[in-house]
Structure 1
Amino acid sequence: MSTTATSASQLSTGPNPSHTRIKHPPPPFPEVCRRWLRDQCTLGYNCRWVHRDLDYDFPDSSTSRPRPAPPPPPEPHLSIMVHDHTRVRLGSGFEIHEVTTSVETPWLVLSNVPVRVKPNAISQLLAPFGSVVDLKIPPTPAKDVMTVKARFSTHAEALRASTALDGSAVFKTTISARIPVNSRSGMVDIQDSTVRIQWEAPSKVAYGGYPSPERAQEAIAAARTPCEDYYVHASIHVGLPSIGAVTVKFANLPPTADEKCMERFARPEDIMWERPNYLVLSLAVDGVKRTLHSLGNLRELDVLPPPYLNGLVRAWATFSSSAAARSAAASIHGRKPIWTGKTRIFARYVQTLAYHISLEAYEKDAPLINALREAAFRNGCGMTVAVRRLPMSMLIRLSAEGNKALGWLKAEFEKMSQGEILRRDGVAIWDSFFGRPNGAEYLRTVSAEEPGVRIEVNSVQRLLRLFGTPRQRAAVGTILLQKMDELKARRVRVIRVHGRVVSAFIPAHLTRLCDKFGAENIHVDIWERTITLRGDDALYEAAVEAIHQIQQSSLARLTYRPNIIECPVCFNQVVSRITLRCGHTWCRACLTQYFLAAIDNRRFPLKCLGDEAKCTECIPLSAARGILQPAQFNSIVDAALSSYVHAHAKELHYCPSPDCLQIYRTGPKGTVVQCPACLLRICPHCHAEAHDGFDCADRDGGDRLFKEWAASHDVKNCPGCAIPIERDEGCHHVTCIHCQTHICWVCLQTFPKGEGIYKHMRTVHGGIGLGQEY
């Protein structure tokens, strides 16, 4: 192009050519020449469209000079909630501008505050820690103490107040101050001032004699139905007393049970009774309450009504502080008072979460809730799931002796209604095979093997959700992960093509090949100009033949056509036009695919590909929301957040619990954050489980183990940001998901925007490392 400008200047005439210059008026069309963008136009000043490297002479009148249109106002940012608990502020191109992690809440919960305390006194108590912008006090407290919620201007202020006030003596009592924990149903407060108390219900034991084993088994089967709010345990008894040919022992019978009551158990021929442990439950409840009151700081005793599972009465005692609850549990545990028939009392200090769900939701999930109760009982750790019917809802109380156990219960309970996403190493996995008819048939076959589990396919969000008991979900998850490995193990070939071949391949042959070999086995990358195949030689040969046909067709050799607006992706005339703020026009389908491809590519922000991908304008969110389904939009936001976290690895971290997607921010030594999903208490300095009272552990051991693992795997440090990266499959062109650096994996040379990397790999290394080139 510079040659053309030089030739024009040599045509100047006159006595002093150095001071004489030909004027070049602007071309009649103000648009940029598309052939010039491709370095194909040699017309120079004679071209009817603008060349940006030429200097045009506009008329002297400033009013005649075309004035550029004022830039449109910046698009407002969008605030959206991700993974139930994390809030992000989003800009054009899905660029993340701000992340509010799941543990950053400005709210503070004050418990055990006397009802006589006025709002002004509470505000004065909180004033030294920051600005209180909201104070929620119950209008009519039901007890002599109340729970107050205060909102500070920042999370840091609430955290300082919680650290300073928790367990402090103010208002002539001991109050509890804590940061609430987020849940899928909103913020919930973990009750850590509770004691779970259990003792034997009033009952007695009977022995029934039967003439045959068949009659005895009939009696045992009849005992599976509750008797007067009691779950009776029946079993074959060997030894004394021996009654009849076969003796059955009936435990946990009502204390008022008699011969008539026993007729329901296959009419035993003879019965022998043991004395009841005690007769009246109300006396036992009064005795437990008096004992707890004598220990001090008791606020409430909630006794569950019958039926009594395993013959035990369950009650929850709430105290003014966690210290008082621990002291009470230690004092009453193991006692054998006369009012419980001298049977042992079991008391454990626990942490609890309470959920209120609708009656309809409970009816639907009742089998899963019962299965969770059984799983909690088997797992130990003092875990219990208590169900209580209220007038308008069901109360589900989760309790456990520690954060880990309670976090497990919380996660399992929420998975019952939301489902469990199939993940590997914390990352949701997907293959488009499951979104096709043959994949759906395969999933139906898997579900038939585990009738109690349901598999939900979300092709838009590209994930699988499993519904069922923990054991059933684990069994089905193992089968699906094995299927994922099988799909991944199929041979992968990458064919790189040039020019318009890849754009012509999509409308001409892609649909036909997908119908024959499966869409999950063919991936076209318009931007990298590659066609990735996963399968046997038949698929590879069919794709090669299709590419050969396109290379010989007129569509692949199509040249620039004036006055035709072309899409920057497919290079064809725009269909269903969408014009962006920068002025470039796309096909609606191409722009949609560009957005969806970002879910896997994770290269943000998403910029326009106009001017041969030289346009630097980010695509507005309004354009994305106008053509994407809500689930599609949210999936791209998830991918953008994942990319942002990787790019800010020193600041943001994922929860160390396996399969937990919550994020927290690095913090100083001595601080603790609590994950709202799994309830794990985390040290934000060393990124391990909280170690109250101990220094952060030496991390060298973990680094050494990682270095040993990296030495035996294909792991290298990114030359752009030094983060360790591992190449799984594909050619030698690797893009770091952390800093978006384009890298040659063989020599680690970098290439801005990836320009020239394939030429480098062919020239220096003899090829791109995988597949064939055309």
Structure 2
Amino acid sequence: MARQKTQLPLRPAGSQAGKKPCVFFAQQRCRNGSSCSFSHDPAVVESVTRITPTGEQDGKASTPKPTCHFYLKGACLKGDSCPFAHPESTQPLVAEENGEHSTDKRQGPENDESEDKPDDWIRQLGGAVIQLGHGAALLKVSLQSDFSAVRISQLPVDSTPGHIFSVLRKLGFAVSIDEIRFAPSPDPTYRVADLRIEDPAFARRFISMADVFKRSFAGKNSIKVIAINAPMPGGSGMHRVECKKVLCSWYRPFKTVWLNFTSSGLAEIVHEKYTSGRWRVLNMPVTSHAPKRSKAWTTVMLTEVPAEATEDDVKKSIPASISPRNVETGTPSFSYDAEMANALVKSRLMDVGPLEWWEDAVFGGKRAKAKARFQDDGDAAKAASLLDGWELPFHKKGKLTVQAIYSARFRVQERIYRAIKPIIEEQSMTWQAKKVYLAVYEPARFSSSRVLKFEGEDNKAVAEAKRILEQILQGHLATDKSKPIWSPAFTVNGEVFQKIQELEQLLGIVIIRNRKLSRVYLFGLEDKCKEAETKLAAIAQQDLSTTNFIKLDAAQFAWACRGGFKSITEALGRKATFNVVSDPKQIVVTGSDEDFKLAIDMVKAQKEPNSRSSSSNTGKQSSTGDCSICWMEPENPLVTDCGHTYCSDCFEGLCVSATSSAKNDFILRCEGNSSQCQQAFSLNFLQERLSSQLFEDILEASFKSYVSHRPDALRYCPTPDCGQIYRAATGTFTCPNCLTPVCTTCFVSHQGMTCADHKYVSSGGDLALNEAKQRLGIKDCPKCKTAMEKTEGCDHMTCGGCGTHICWNCLETFGTGPECYRHMNKVHGGIGMAW
């Protein structure tokens, strides 16, 4: 869903709904009338409310202030005392460039782009491109070895992707036109095209048919075809610098106009008005040359007049009382068709790569300005390298300017954004000085988060701004005497949590409790966070609570669902919570030893709850409004697409716990209705409700889980900290990341040696380790080599690394637990339990 930025009014319905509001019309200064390319719709003008220096809307009916030019450039020193408008935003979006109706590309992200666009759910991790689906389940993994590519050079200069596509189809190659990309050519008399196909055998097959391919180009035997390394397709996502957007511009045609006066005094007045910029033609500044006298006239010559300006347009710019006696117009500097020019530039961009969107040039200044966004990362930089300075066919002396724009996006919870907004606004001045601009988008409907996006021409400056914002979004770790502040009472939403909420309200900050790490993070101004640290340390020292867990068997869990847990909460309040996600199910008691003893006695007794407690507790939480995890009234509730409710913290905890899960199939499912719902959360829902960092962590956890559970298919490079994966059945593999050769038989690097030789050489070091393992009773998983130790129970083991079911006695592996038990009873005469 496209989103509006904070300072932009909603667009009205009607014929002008697709147009941007005219800044000059809002200021009652537009001279273009009905010919203006921007909206003059009264609904638009009425919806543009004046923003006060404090950021509050002023409801008074008054003329909006003109925007401060210095503020637009990030250089206004007057602050709240400035008599001009400072729109509420981390950076202004609509600028007035020399008074033109234009969106200045130097001012950052544009105000009509759908920058908070739908994600394509494609990521690059471990040297692979992955496709994800609902529940963050991994659907597909593509490696560089899955692709092959060729380069075709010496192609005719009029070659197009469509022509190459049709030839390939006739030769029996199943390709798409998006897989054909033109590359920079060292010689302008011919073109170069690259083809990348997800088929390891494509390059070999295509080269074998190169002669047939050449004959399709009218006997161009000079065409050359070679195999090249296949570049990986791109991906999207937050927290990464990408280069997909380009800004294109070119000069528009102009003409010369001569104004003839009988009075030299009038000519001097007209010359001064045009020179000062107070008079314009079609709202564009023109160049006025000093009046020249002849026998009959005093002539003022105007240059850089828009080619489409008529004699009447020129006369309209001059008051009737001093109108010239005669107006002569010259011919345009070149012939120009705006529609043709847009189509031509767009076509050249599409030769570089497929476009996500294209916006026709805005014609309101001396240069026509168009925008485009490529589908694949890096194509914008390639387009700038290939097309910047390209001679325009419709203007032989003119050249196209193509500028690559780097960007990085973040998703931030709305309450955290409001707390850190003053920090971001202060920092934005530094970013703007380096020509890096930050746009802030309003949250979408029903969303609890908003998108922030950097844009700039310098990739290093954008990357540095990204790094600083990431530090801000990490929050401030609350410490006392250099030690993290924590108390068991911080884990529950009881009396201590109410004190934390009061502290948030008092100081205007956000306090996040990370239960997994036992850490507290603070978001807000530094002095307020320091004050909160002192108060949190005092709360933690005063509280003597401990956390205890009551593990429930099947009968106890059924009792808890029938109303037993409700009975415990009636006795203890929010000191008791239900964890229906854990295995086994648990009741968590955070309080005194007496509280824990009372709860465990109630579980052991399994006294049937009274009718009031059990009336609404048959097999599900006490009400549909209760949190699906803790079964308590939710704090900061969110509702899933399937209608179940969660505390925001409980939902984050559910997602965080999944990142360390050893389940065979990673998928985030709803735990509503006593874990009976199991509907997979949509990726859109997860992305909207979680911070961008946690969301990306979940996607990475899904990827790691997928790899670890498929040791026969995928492996990690053995080089420490490399992180590259490869297909296990590819023969010798040379890691493209660290260039280490890996044997795919024994999964180690032993260049120049056989597996047996390497095992013999390395056995000296392994001997001591194996002896220690044997002494301690440790064995390795037959599949992924994860070390295992049996401390109790039967001989059925489940590997914590890959989830394989293993017979501890003989280390035979199975796909399921029942298969393992049948094997143990049949082969070993039992499951290894002494009764």
| TM-score past 0.5 threshold | no
Q: TM-score, normalised by structure 2?
A: 0.35
Higher Cα Rg, which structure = 1
